[in-house]
Structure 1
């Protein structure tokens, strides 16, 4: 019996170790980022892969703050968008397809932030209503064309919701009310702000490095820790 117990304990311990290793995030390789040392960033209007037409500019309006807080000079997004349109590039797909060298020539920035929105808006599933915004980003050096960093983040109203009882009828009513409120107030815009902070703020595992205007410049924690 004791032998069986020890074997079972060994198997469980080994399984726990494997799960822990699988869940551990691999450190990001910041070699190219540190060599590039970008000081200025142009944010390109996000490509929208969600069915909500508001996604591109809702997310775009939220991206400047975390990058500026991180210590980078960020070109005004409205001016960038207008410049593209004046040159015949009317949608984010065409804007993001422009050659890095051309973006460098036009905007003079060291790097460009390419963003894609995969989810945006509210979904209603009988007894639940949830607003989700999911986005990914990559930072590219406009002088060399090298990828410096990439990441993804998501946020949801489900993180804040708690069931307060009331049974099935209560859940149905709560879901309906949340769906109506989210649609009227565009809850997606608020959630997009949280997603943007998670995506572009420094200090999180495998996140962006601090820029030259940050007091933490050159002293970021080792990636993945």
Structure 2
């Protein structure tokens, strides 16, 4: 009887391990198949869609998107040019085009992809010592209108301070320092950290030395949580 129970436990553990293996993240060539099929070169940054209570979050995110994309090997349409044209053409509200054909944007800007970002949350907590952000990233083809890359992240930007001093005085000092540090944290630093972290699994573009060689690397989770800091 004992042998039967032991065998049952071993079998259950084995099946559990197998189940865990099946949930392993796909490799990039599978998760982002469209990126490898279409081989896009140029990206147009659409104005971020801000659904948070922070009215300035839109500008911070838009101004920090180009660097991680350029570092990944893509040509990013200059934002000063694209924003002027979008405003003149009454296309500043990207939400109007999220589910619409994007062929015209490809023709006007010469872009293969249009990047939409949706800021769902942007909350600063002085007591907890953090900036909590929830952002969705959507890269759509201007040729086929298909979503080729998407991730949504709940990101906590840690601004807490710890002096390592014990006792009540140390705790109070850390709380005060954390509040000051949180208040002084620049939103642009938070936006830059979020964008850099999210796009670290973006398939390499033509202008990257890794172009065509990263297909078998693991892609990041499409829905993720992360804690970042400037330390």
Q: Which residue of 2 aligns with 1:193?
A: 192
Compute the TM-score of the two structures, normalised by the length of structure 1: 0.79
Note the residue ranges of structure 2 that are not aligned, 5 or more in a row.
220-231
Contact 1:119 1:132 in 2 (8 A): yes
1:209 maps to which of 195, 203, 212: 203
1:178 and 2:178 are equivalent in the alignment: yes
| 1:98/1:83 CA distance change after superposition, 3 Å | farther
| 1:16/1:174 CA distance change after superposition, 3 Å | farther
1:111 and 2:110 are equivalent in the alignment: no
Taking the aligned partners of 2:99 and 2:36, their CA distance within structure 1 comes to 25
Contact 1:154 1:198 in 2 (8 A): no
Compute the TM-score of the two structures, normalised by the length of structure 2: 0.77
- SS state at 2:65 partner: helix
- SS state at 2:209 partner: coil
1:139 and 2:139 are equivalent in the alignment: yes
- SS state at 2:139 partner: strand
Query: Could you tell me how far 1:213 is from its partner in structure 2?
Result: 0.9
Taking the aligned partners of 2:73 and 2:145, their CA distance within structure 1 comes to 22
Contact 2:161 2:181 in 1 (8 A): no
Note the residue ranges of structure 1 that are not aligned, 5 or more in a row.
202-206
* TM superposition outliers: structure 1 runs of 4+ over 4 Å: 1-5, 95-98, 159-163, 165-173
1:123 and 2:117 are equivalent in the alignment: no
Describe the superposition over 1:68-107 as per-residue Cα deviations: whole angstroms up to 9, x where unpaired: 1111110112322221111223434236466301211221
| 1:157/1:185 CA distance change after superposition, 3 Å | closer
Taking the aligned partners of 2:78 and 2:162, their CA distance within structure 1 comes to 39
Query: Could you tell me how far 1:217 is from its partner in structure 2?
Result: 0.9
| 1:160/1:5 CA distance change after superposition, 3 Å | farther
Describe the superposition over 1:160-188 as per-residue Cα deviations: whole angstroms up to 9, x where unpaired: 765836456754653454334323443x3
- SS state at 1:220 partner: coil
